[in-house]
Structure 1
């Protein structure tokens, strides 16, 4: 019963098999192999336009270098107050970009457009003492399991365009959001005004596969140097390409995300039926947040369940009582119905 995070899961067998196959071959290094080139072409097909793709090791590297690519001296990046880039990346986006993160409030883990407009207005382009607006980054799916609708992305993108700011999307759980919205990768990104995407594969069945996607290749003309200087250029880059080869083949990635979302739905349905526990707020991705008695959480942990106790967001709809705990549960491609049902059974009996 592993619900701590989707990155606790291993690699999907198809990806392991593809890595094993690649390990017996010789190929050009530093992203110059035929396989690397073929995956770059696959990204063009997937996003329905020519894009520039760069592989990196981690989601933090993807976010940090994507923002570094659009950095300006004295620049400020606007993000949700509980976004991963501001809460959980040890200041890496600030360090690599040289820009400061500015928190924007909003319910359900999503920036409110009016709050974003107000924040940006505090930092005009000639504000030499305070810094100037330089970029916006949004997380899709969010840190609290919610998803920006296409209309909400439109609203954020319009603000970015009106202010001449590049829009970055942190897509660590990109596939889960895509499945939930039932739209194409293009419809959730550049067709809405997203300029740069952190495309995550590690949380959805890959071993170590992240990519930075520029929807306007002109924005990436200097990025190869930035990646190299940041020690993110793999000599055996083809092993990331090999993972993406299996990941994207026959839409495996969408199937894996769909399964994870379905298991999360099963958890949500189960919690809704319990008298002793309840959902903390509605979610639509593979993250589930629940409030349950501390005794139930302890019983589940003692029987092998793994999850995280979670700090209550500022705008949590229902307060956590003294004898209760808020937990986060994340499902993955490897989560089974038995895992879910066993956890719910423990909660019910405890």
Structure 2
């Protein structure tokens, strides 16, 4: 917020020719340890659509998980930005795609078959929509398979900072060193107001993006207000501190829930999200503390909740959650462990 206020002085040249946007590429090149081309956008949906549209022709297909955000919750943005591209959907536990599943999907689809959509892009989400991370060796293996098939690799990084701190790796190791060609760099979920970015390390892809970025209406006249957010996000490791705190808050809440009677954690807790099935009595106890959780459908497992923790969750909120869980009581097994 301070950065937004401080850039609101004087007169600047419009459409990204301002002094703040001028430093953006160098700041992110330093962050990723190589030349980086960055295109600010206002939403993650726009970022994913532009990124995938830049590497997917109208006759191309994007391989991705069947539960990927680009499939379930973005209203066909990748198909729109690519001018007609399609999705080839793959399955996998915790919304992760394994190398074996990708290879099988490519084999069944057929590479170079004129009767099928052209194999063009592979998109994965880090961390996944289930809040689970891909390890570096998994990223390398998937990228190698995709590149061998002639695909470009896209990373949906809506919660990339949370995944980076979970694995204790560098941004470079998580992205281009692991074979990523282009990514949607999410910052709004970790602190910015309305600034995300499409980032590529390939100058040829950047040429395509520069035209698409304007044509899609994302070259803002007052670009400095987006650029300063993306700059301040990196300053003094703000991105890192926020992600560490959010992840810690989620693990803390998961630790509070695990001993509670009738609670099931559906996915491993790797970042700042907790997916759980809670008994009605616990949900009622939480509501009595003015804590209302978002319902989440786990298919055959039934109805549960999704809890997304933030870097700015208050101690008072967390204490109310803990109190509700204490009043609900531990499971029988937990009680026995404590007694012993």
Tell me the TM-score range normalised by the shorter chain.
over 0.9
- Choose which of 217, 220, 228 in structure 2 pairs with 1:242: 228
1:191-223 alpha-carbon deviations (Å, 9 max, x no partner):
010000100111101001100111112221121
1:244-275 alpha-carbon deviations (Å, 9 max, x no partner):
22111010111001100010110111111222
CA distance in 1, matches of 2:176, 2:299: 30
CA distance in 1, matches of 2:91, 2:7: 46
Q: Which runs of at least 4 in structure 1 moved beyond 6 Å after TM superposition?
A: none
Aligned to 1:331: 309
Aligned to 2:338: none
- Choose which of 63, 74, 92 in structure 2 pairs with 1:78: 63
Aligned to 1:19: 4
Would you say the 8 A contact 2:285–2:327 is kept in 1?
no
Matches within 5 A, 1:36-51: 36-51=21-36
1:305-328 alpha-carbon deviations (Å, 9 max, x no partner):
2331111156xxxx34xxxx4111
CA distance in 2, matches of 1:39, 1:301: 44
CA distance in 2, matches of 1:116, 1:257: 30
CA distance in 1, matches of 2:135, 2:299: 21
TM-score by length of 2: 0.92
- Choose which of 174, 186, 190 in structure 2 pairs with 1:200: 186
Answer 1 or 2: higher relative contact order, Cα 8 Å, separation at least 6: 1
Structure 1 position 181, deviation (Å):
0.7
Aligned to 1:64: 49
Would you say the 8 A contact 1:205–1:256 is kept in 2?
yes
CA distance in 2, matches of 1:283, 1:79: 22
CA distance in 2, matches of 1:128, 1:206: 44
Aligned to 1:55: 40
Is 1:216 the counterpart of 2:202? The answer is yes
TM-score by length of 1: 0.90
Aligned length: 327
Which has the greater radius of gyration? 2
Q: 1:73 aligns to what SS in structure 2?
A: coil
Aligned to 1:132: 118
Structure 1 gaps of 5+ residues are: 1-15
CA distance in 1, matches of 2:10, 2:288: 46
Aligned to 1:9: none
CA distance in 1, matches of 2:222, 2:171: 27
Structure 1 position 333, deviation (Å):
1.4
Structure 1 position 346, deviation (Å):
1.5
Structure 1 position 172, deviation (Å):
0.6
1:61-95 alpha-carbon deviations (Å, 9 max, x no partner):
00000000011232110111111011111111111
Structure 1 position 174, deviation (Å):
0.7
Greater Cα offset, 191-200 or 109-118: 109-118
Superposition RMSD on alpha carbons, in Å?
Answer: 1.5
